[in-house]
Structure 1
Amino acid sequence: MVVALDRVIGALDLWLHLLNKDQKPRVDPNLDPVLLVPGIGGSILTAVNEKGRQERVWVRLFAADHEFRTKLWSLFDPSTGQTVSLDKDTKIIVPDDNFGLYACDSLDPALIIGQEAVCYFHDMIEEMIKWGFEEGKTLFGFGYDFRQSNRFHETLDRFLDKLKLIYDCSGGKKVNIVSHSMGGLLVKCFMSLHSDVFEKYVKSWIAIAAPFQGAPGYTASSLLSGMSFVNGWEQNLFISKWSMHQLLIECPSMYELMACPHFKWSDTPLLQVWKEIVDDDGNISSKLESYRPSESISIMVDALSSNKIQYDGVEIPLPFNLDILKWSNETRKILSSAKVPPSVKFFNIYGICNDTPHNICYGSEKSPVSDLRQLLISEPNYVCVDGDGTVPAESASADGLPAEARIAVPADHRGIISDRHVFRILKHWLGAGEPDPYYNPMNDYVILPDASEFVQAMGGLVKEQWEIISDAGEGGGEAKDVSFSLGLSLSSVVDESQAEECVIMRPNYEDNVDLGFKRLQVAVSTRA
């Protein structure tokens, strides 16, 4: 019954996705194709048994935790670099419906209760369609098994096939890649290992919120004590933190997100533990010990030394995997040697203005840790830096590549791919819509021509209407009516085609107030 309901919901998910689409907007055949590449957890995964029966295992509603443990739990094979499902009769695939977009559009199967906790590229896809992109012609998606390494050969082979397909479908046009989060590491690995092919098929790469130097606090705490993709009551319908923890311990992709030990951090990320100290007389005290990224490995090894799971009646040890660590260190070398081909443009967008875990600390002075194995069931405290809530801005901005532009956007890690500011930047870089020569993506606002530019170009008189916005009364203070005098004068010297513009504002009270100016209208009357 549970399986049947899950299938019904899966069918409804796809059906409603198609049904709810508005009438297709005008398609712009001149646009270059775009490929969307999600990050960790950003692709629908389907389990296929020996009989060819398919069952969605990530993300699903009914029996989610049970199917997750049964079908997705895995062990790393150091001889191949692959993490292999414990269920030998199951193969994990990524659905390629709707030209790969279905797998990274809206991951949420909970249509009945209206949940939208795990939507992914949905808003971006809808926005790009409005700009004139067409699914299967100029808009594609690339989902992948995010348990695997970012340099896993099967994933990179599929990525190559996708680039070739898009190139052919678009009539030989090069591809603009838009990656999010860990998808940026996958793209960078491919670029490093297949530079010639990358140059042949790729026009530009836009990385959004990529953890180029790792996500220190997020990754260390996930490997030690697990993580949750959703919080609160929603966890009852999703994957338990413990189940997710056991998966991540055997995921090469997670180890590749650890803090890069060779990067020159402005503030080195630390793993800190308040340890219980017992002297010869039995007196107990506490001591705070701090470990740099390379030093923290021994702590993780000790903490996970007794970790194990029960699978199909068999006890399987799951310690910190040193084979995966060795593999991920090689991945780091590949990432550090990547170079952008001369004909490809690279852009970087990353999030700021969010407290982002950097240092993690277990225990406290009053409640020290007596056994490192206690860390598995402990909640850490964080020392945060600026970033998107998951990836520090310092890591995301340190791409090590010659970028056309790096732009910081006030947004969180997941929200940044639905952010309207980011949409405007992407639209500009992708050449969608009418070109606006006055748009400056570095500041993300429209720079209207100055009055002098109008006078110089048109040889006429200019009248401008401005809206003035006040923040008075915000921040808990009492709102205050704002009144002021505003004068705007323009004068031009016709023979020199120059103009002067003067804005004078006189507040009618003595308190300071923050005022913003927004030009509403510019009118030009030309001379005969």
Structure 2
Amino acid sequence: MRFNSKAISKVIRRGFSLRLVIFFIMFSLIIQFSFTGIRRVSAQQNDGKGIPIIIVPGIMGSRLYDDKHQLVWLEDSQIDILFKSLPGIGQKIKFSSENNKMKVRGNYNKQNHMSKELREYGTRNEYKAIVDFLIEEFPERDIYFFSYDWRLSVLQIADKLNKLILCVTKYGPGKVDIVAHSMGGLVASAFMKKFADGSAQQVGKIITCGTPYEGSPKTFYVLLPDRIQFDLKKIDKILLLADSVKFDPEKIVKIFFDIFSRVFAGLTFEVKCSFPSMQLLVPSLQYMEKYPFVSSYVEGDEYSAFSIARDNYAEFLSMIFSSNKEGEKEFNFDIYNYITSDANDIPLTHYGKRYNYLASLPNTYFIVGINQDTISSLGVERNISNPSSFCSRVEDIKIDTNGDGTVPYDSATMMGVLPHLLSRTGRYFEIAQDHGGTINHYKARSEIKRMLEEPTTASVP
């Protein structure tokens, strides 16, 4: 807004007081700055300087609110608050027909137009690093953080992502880039497949970091009850797990916090199994074919053991997930099959291995964590005498030194398909870091920057 000095002088000469003129100027400035502030935080306007970037976090990476707008799932830095509300968390987040919607906030806010105190970082410290990094490195781009109800299936979450992309592209350059971590990569693949003829065409690039394309045995380690017994006979299990994380104090604290939260917060086996999202995070059929579990049980005086692999894996999963009364009684792999098929629902295969839909696209990039102790297989004990109660518990774990500590290498690489197809294209990068490091470590962030800046490949090799 411009002020004409001659006009102001004329106003003064006509008898208006100087105080009134000053009021007029201050009022005009307030109006100007107020509308400027609205423009800067609105997702419905774009500065036109670059393609916006949407960050998609992994499971449990978004803050959740109940229908009374009370914060239910908190960030790691609010453990003190979490302890105050521990007893009610399990029931608050258990998924059911009555409790099937949790609220999120901030999806449509431009994080680069907000102070660090007001930015959305989700519940994981690693997302603060990537949000701030992208804002600093790409000042010409708008940065969005896509929070979502991570209890839902990836197909339901994909619908929410679709709405955000439609809004962002409507008022912007018509394109967005996506940087996804962990389960966020599965959300991105479901979105790209489901909306292939629509808003998926407005996605410039997708970068996934540490995504469990073939699931992870650690999911069972988190799901199954009695995974660590509180007696001296089982202390070797705790020491084995501590050794697997190389006695990192922060990670060991998280181990015991998880145990405490399971016991006191009600984050029980039944609560976790109620999440539809969990059914895509368990190992896939082809993963189990290569790394079968060992199941043992005692019936009377007889001890038996057998492998859980392709032939009986679905039955094993049905037994686990049917413990949730409102869950499906028979486990199926429909969503996995959907995101590993092409537009005509023909399975995508490479030398006999199914691979995710994202690998068939020319605008996708992958970061994989390696050289970290990672659970590759499990030994479980089944309760044959009382199948309606806790059906299984983890009795043994097998750890390999190949993976990111959470996602095995074979899962992150789609059973080896990714390095075979993309190792010389610049679209595939391995980093010797843990699961969080695949998006947080400075080398990972540098690769993300490079991937976002380089031209898109014309076709899939």
CA distance in 2, matches of 1:250, 1:183: 19
Which deviates more from structure 2 when the two are superposed, residues 28-37 or residues 137-146?
Answer: 28-37
Residues 1:35 and 2:57 aligned together: no
- The alpha carbon displacement at 1:304 in A equals 7.2
Secondary structure of 2:150's partner?
A: coil
| Contact persistence 2:372–2:434 (CA under 8 A) | yes
CA distance in 1, matches of 2:151, 2:377: 25
The one of 120, 126, 130 equivalent to 1:124 is 130
| Contact persistence 2:227–2:395 (CA under 8 A) | no
- The alpha carbon displacement at 1:104 in A equals 5.6
- The alpha carbon displacement at 1:195 in A equals 0.7
Higher helix share: 2
Secondary structure of 1:362's partner?
A: strand
The one of 276, 286, 296 equivalent to 1:274 is 296
Residues 1:203 and 2:204 aligned together: yes
Give the AA of the match of 2:274: E
| Contact persistence 2:58–2:180 (CA under 8 A) | yes
- The alpha carbon displacement at 1:239 in A equals 7.8
Residues 1:424 and 2:439 aligned together: no
Give the structure-1-normalised TM-score.
0.58
Q: How does 1:236-275 map to 2 (within 5 A)?
A: 236=260, 240=264, 243-261=267-285, 263=286, 265=287, 268-275=290-297
Residues 1:391 and 2:391 aligned together: no
CA distance in 1, matches of 2:365, 2:177: 11
Q: How does 1:488-527 map to 2 (within 5 A)?
A: none
The one of 125, 142, 159 equivalent to 2:146 is 142
CA distance in 1, matches of 2:359, 2:302: 57
Aligned residue number for residue 174 of structure 1: 175
Residues 1:185 and 2:200 aligned together: no
CA distance in 2, matches of 1:143, 1:242: 24
Cα–Cα, structure 1 residues 104 and 398, in superposed 2: closer, same or farther, change >3 Å? Answer: farther
Residues 1:55 and 2:70 aligned together: yes
Give the AA of the match of 2:61: G
The one of 88, 96, 108 equivalent to 2:106 is 96
Residues 1:70 and 2:97 aligned together: no
Aligned residue number for residue 155 of structure 2: 151
Aligned residue number for residue 307 of structure 2: 290
| Contact persistence 2:321–2:327 (CA under 8 A) | no
Which deviates more from structure 2 when the two are superposed, residues 267-276 or residues 422-431?
Answer: 267-276
Aligned residue number for residue 220 of structure 1: 220
- The alpha carbon displacement at 1:288 in A equals 2.6
Cα–Cα, structure 1 residues 103 and 259, in superposed 2: closer, same or farther, change >3 Å? Answer: farther
| Contact persistence 1:351–1:411 (CA under 8 A) | yes
- The alpha carbon displacement at 1:392 in A equals 1.0
Give the AA of the match of 2:202: Y
Secondary structure of 1:74's partner?
A: coil
Q: How does 1:308-323 map to 2 (within 5 A)?
A: 318=324, 321-323=327-329
| Contact persistence 2:226–2:394 (CA under 8 A) | no
Cα–Cα, structure 1 residues 323 and 190, in superposed 2: closer, same or farther, change >3 Å? Answer: farther
Cα–Cα, structure 1 residues 259 and 379, in superposed 2: closer, same or farther, change >3 Å? Answer: closer
**Superposed CA offset, 1:102-158 (max 9, x none):** 786152xxxxxxxxxx42410111112221336xx5211111100000001xx3332
CA distance in 2, matches of 1:227, 1:100: 42
Give the AA of the match of 2:405: G
Cα–Cα, structure 1 residues 253 and 43, in superposed 2: closer, same or farther, change >3 Å? Answer: same
Q: How does 1:436-451 map to 2 (within 5 A)?
A: none
CA distance in 1, matches of 2:170, 2:227: 41
- The alpha carbon displacement at 1:340 in A equals 5.4
Give the AA of the match of 2:99: S
CA distance in 1, matches of 2:448, 2:138: 13
Aligned residue number for residue 99 of structure 2: 85
- State the superposition RMSD in angstroms: 3.6
CA distance in 2, matches of 1:44, 1:423: 23
Question: Structure 1: which 5+ residue stretches go unaligned?
Answer: 1-27, 78-83, 108-117, 279-283, 308-317, 436-528
- The alpha carbon displacement at 1:358 in A equals 2.1
| Contact persistence 1:362–1:375 (CA under 8 A) | no
Residues 1:232 and 2:284 aligned together: no
| Contact persistence 1:150–1:185 (CA under 8 A) | yes
Cα–Cα, structure 1 residues 239 and 94, in superposed 2: closer, same or farther, change >3 Å? Answer: farther
Secondary structure of 2:315's partner?
A: helix
CA distance in 2, matches of 1:144, 1:426: 22
Higher radius of gyration, 1 or 2? 1
Aligned residue number for residue 377 of structure 2: 359
- The alpha carbon displacement at 1:64 in A equals 3.1
CA distance in 2, matches of 1:141, 1:149: 19
CA distance in 1, matches of 2:435, 2:178: 19
Give the AA of the match of 1:99: N
Aligned length in residues: 351
Cα–Cα, structure 1 residues 376 and 122, in superposed 2: closer, same or farther, change >3 Å? Answer: farther
Give the AA of the match of 1:119: N
Give the AA of the match of 1:143: S
CA distance in 2, matches of 1:334, 1:103: 35
Which deviates more from structure 2 when the two are superposed, residues 138-147 or residues 157-166?
Answer: 157-166
Q: How does 1:477-492 map to 2 (within 5 A)?
A: none
Identity of aligned residues (%): 21
Question: Structure 2: which 5+ residue stretches go unaligned?
Answer: 1-46, 75-80, 112-117, 229-250, 343-356, 456-461
Aligned residue number for residue 331 of structure 1: 335
| Contact persistence 1:124–1:417 (CA under 8 A) | yes
Secondary structure of 2:453's partner?
A: coil
CA distance in 1, matches of 2:270, 2:151: 12
Cα–Cα, structure 1 residues 56 and 227, in superposed 2: closer, same or farther, change >3 Å? Answer: farther
- The alpha carbon displacement at 1:167 in A equals 2.0
CA distance in 2, matches of 1:266, 1:376: 19
| Contact persistence 2:155–2:187 (CA under 8 A) | yes
| Contact persistence 2:213–2:412 (CA under 8 A) | yes
CA distance in 2, matches of 1:397, 1:345: 17
